[in-house]
Amino acid sequence: MTGRTTLMKTAIYPGTFDPIHNGHIDLVERAAQLFDKVVVAVADNKKKKPLFDLEERIDICRQSLAKLDNIEVCGFNHLIIDFAKSKDSHIVLRGLRTTADFEYELQMANMNRSMSSNFETVFLTPNESLSSISSSLVREIAAMGGDVEQFVSPSVFKPLMAKFSK
């Protein structure tokens, strides 16, 4: 490709990650093969009343993704387009499990692009066996004493069970 400069492509994967689960991890692993760098942006969204505080979620994400060398995990609490710019990126990565996810995510992608014309959203679907997992279902099952070990990494399982053993 003569005359073209290769740019480092960084994708931002935002979410609450309360907690990060195997579906999230699958998506990050695949994104790490598509992009030079993936920033897992843990949202500090007080409206969602997370089970884990921001620092706990960041730490659990870092532990769960430790085997990947082109991943950065950090918190954020402002517009994703502004956060992406601060990381020299214009790409946000979103996972789609259902058609309901698609409708919401399409609306967000269009809104972000209307605020920043070069902002792009890339959609990935999880592995079929992981498409039914959600953080809210993992929390609900764990809260009722169910076994969530198959849905989360060991670095999530232990602190999650500790939250509900109190």
What is the per-residue pLDDT for 56? 97
CATH code for 10-164?
3.40.50.620
Residue 135 annotated among the catalytic residues of the structure: yes
Residue 165 annotated among the catalytic residues of the structure: no
Residues 46-102 pLDDT 10s: 788 899 999 999 999 999 999 999 999 999 999 999 999 999 999 999 999 888 889
- CA angle, residues 40, 59, 48, in degrees to nearest 5: 70
Residue 62 annotated among the catalytic residues of the structure: no
**What is the DSSP secondary-structure string of 17-67?**
-TT--HHHHHHHHHHHHHSSEEEEEEE--GGG--SS-HHHHHHHHHHHTTT
Q: Which SS3 state, helix, strand or coil, does residue 71 take?
A: strand
Which one of the listed residues 48, 78, 132, 136 is annotated catalytic? 48
Residue whose tokens read 């039914």: 132
Q: Which two tokens stand for residue 140?
A: 């609900």
**What is the DSSP secondary-structure string of 88-122?**
T--EEEEE--SHHHHHHHHHHHHHHHHHSTT-EEE
Q: Sign of dihedral through CA atoms 147, 148, 151, 157?
A: negative
Residues 86-124 pLDDT 10s: 999 999 999 998 888 899 999 999 999 999 999 999 999
Residue 57 annotated among the catalytic residues of the structure: no
